[in-house]
Amino acid sequence: MSSSPDRARGFASDNYSGIHPDVLAAIAAANVGHEPAYGADTVTGRLREVFAGHFGKPVEVFPVFNGTGANVTALQSMLPRWGAVIAASTAHVNSDEGGAPEKVGGIKLLTVATPDGKLTPDLIDTEAWGWGDEHRAQPLVVAITQSTELGTLYTPAEIRAIADHVHERGMLLYMDGARISNAAAALDLPLHAFTTDVGVDVVSVGGTKNGALAAEAIVVLEDSASVGLHYLRKVNMQLASKMRFVSAQLVALYEGDLYLRNARHANAMAARLRQGLEAVIAEGRIRGVGFSQQTQANGIFATLPPGVADKVRESFRFYDWDASIGEVRWVCSFDTTEADIDALIDAVTRATQA
């Protein structure tokens, strides 16, 4: 990936946005007196209650600092040393974690090429084989991402089909939910409808990309699917001593509907960008601009003529996704404005006409 120097507003990632004021206020509100460390505090206790409501059952909740830590630690807890994880080749766990699953987690990844970032039972079966063969890492977990790295969504029915397929073969299902709020907003469904209700065993719940500072959580939905998280979180340097400040951010997002309001706004801005560019294309004002994926959440994948991306990056920061085909990614955040979107559309229009 390549990017330009920093600007006041950017579309490179929803990690570029700041902290939502309500989340920042929650951190300050938690900064009173003394509380027990390492998760024995009242705020983390409240977080367990909040997530039990979202997932429709009592759950184990393990707040961590970041998505990579959540993925590696959760997957370690679901696997024996000889186990492997089947994932899409574009999944964050494979393409954007610096080899942490392998280097830190000791996890073999069995990756599958997909056209849209989504696994299917048939695609899973290209790597789900070799059980009992001592020469092959044993495929024991399937990891899906909701929403995916390509901005696409799994429907509950698609997840149920995967879960049933996986469980019939003695494997477990993990969901990377770094953008789970965007998925809930786009699907207009409660979290349990596409996790607990359809057979997901363990899920990570994201906060950082949706207005938090450094707050994610591993949520164990099926007790038998995960072993040793209390120890693994510490081993992986993801155990916060002052955990109330991590938990407070997630409580602020998920106790009410802030997670949905933030995600709906980000998704709406992505839709505005897609529709605005489509309108300019239909008017014949720009040529050579297309879209490589559906826009279902807060990410837009577009293809631009040679040289256009660099011209636009003079005003807005964003990444090349596949420079060989001129593919770029734009990501909208909870604080992206309509003016930001309109300015980006104008910048693309002017760059293609230059």
Answer yes or no: is 15 within a domain: no
Per-residue pLDDT of 160-178, as tens digits, reads 999 999 999 999 999 999 9
**Are 282 and 241 found together in one domain?**
no
List the 299-303 sheet strands across, edge first.
290-291, 299-303, 327-331, 319-322
Q: How confident is the model at residue 149 (pLDDT cuts 50, 70, 90)?
A: very high
pLDDT of residue 8: 58
pLDDT of residue 235: 97
**Are 128 and 210 found together in one domain?**
yes
**Are 160 and 294 found together in one domain?**
no
pLDDT of residue 264: 98
Report, as an integer, the average pLDDT of 177-204.
98
How many separate domains does the chain show? 2
Last residue within a domain, chosen from 235, 256, 277: 256
Answer yes or no: is 1 within a domain: no
Alpha carbons within 13 A on the beta-carbon side of 8: 3
**Are 121 and 231 found together in one domain?**
yes
Q: Determine the 3-state secondary structure of 83 from DSSP.
A: strand
Q: Is the pLDDT of residue 141 over 60?
A: yes
**Are 292 and 274 found together in one domain?**
yes
Nearest to 145 by CA among 233, 238, 68: 68
Answer yes or no: is 241 within a domain: yes
* Mean pLDDT of the residues in the chain: 96
Neighbours of 199 (CB within 10 A): 20
**Are 225 and 307 found together in one domain?**
no
Q: How many helices (H) and strands (E) does the chain have?
A: 13, 11
Last residue within a domain, chosen from 207, 238, 256: 256
Nearest to 60 by CA among 199, 260, 228, 214: 228
**CA–CA gap between residue 196 and residue 189 (Å, rounded):** 12
Per-residue pLDDT of 253-287, as tens digits, reads 999 999 999 999 999 999 999 999 999 999 999 98
Per-residue pLDDT of 199-253, as tens digits, reads 999 999 999 999 999 999 999 999 999 999 999 999 999 999 999 999 999 999 9
**Are 246 and 267 found together in one domain?**
no
Per-residue pLDDT of 31-58, as tens digits, reads 999 999 999 999 999 999 999 999 999 9
**Are 114 and 200 found together in one domain?**
yes
Answer yes or no: is 251 within a domain: yes
Name every residue whose Cβ is closer than 8 Å to that of residue 310 and which is 6 or more positions away in sequence.
4
Q: Is the pLDDT of residue 192 over 80?
A: yes
pLDDT of residue 2: 45
Where residue 342 sits, what CATH number does that domain have?
3.90.1150.10
Last residue within a domain, chosen from 205, 227, 256: 256
Per-residue pLDDT of 71-93, as tens digits, reads 999 999 999 999 999 999 999 99
Strand partners, 60: 220
Q: How confident is the model at residue 121 (pLDDT cuts 50, 70, 90)?
A: very high
Where residue 119 sits, what CATH number does that domain have?
3.40.640.10
Domain extent for 188: 21-256
Alpha carbons within 13 A on the beta-carbon side of 165: 16
Q: Model-level pTM?
A: 0.96
**Are 39 and 101 found together in one domain?**
yes
Answer yes or no: is 4 within a domain: no
Answer yes or no: is 314 within a domain: yes
Distances (CA, A) of 100 to 75, 92, 93, 94, 95: 12, 11, 8, 9, 10
Answer yes or no: is 163 within a domain: yes
Report, as an integer, the average pLDDT of 139-151.
97
Answer yes or no: is 235 within a domain: yes
Instruction: Specify the residue for token string 């574009």.
Output: 90
Neighbours of 276 (CB within 10 A): 18
Transcribe 143-202 into DSSP letters: EEESS-TTS----HHHHHHHHHHHHHTT-EEEEE-TTHHHHHHHHT--GGGGTGGGT--E
**Are 169 and 50 found together in one domain?**
yes
pLDDT of residue 195: 98
Express as a percent the part of the chain with pLDDT over 90: 96
**Burial of 157 from C-beta contacts in 10 A (0-12 / 13-18 / 19+):** exposed
**Are 155 and 57 found together in one domain?**
yes
**Are 117 and 143 found together in one domain?**
yes
Distances (CA, A) of 192 to 18, 50, 179, 199, 333: 28, 12, 15, 10, 24
pLDDT of residue 9: 74
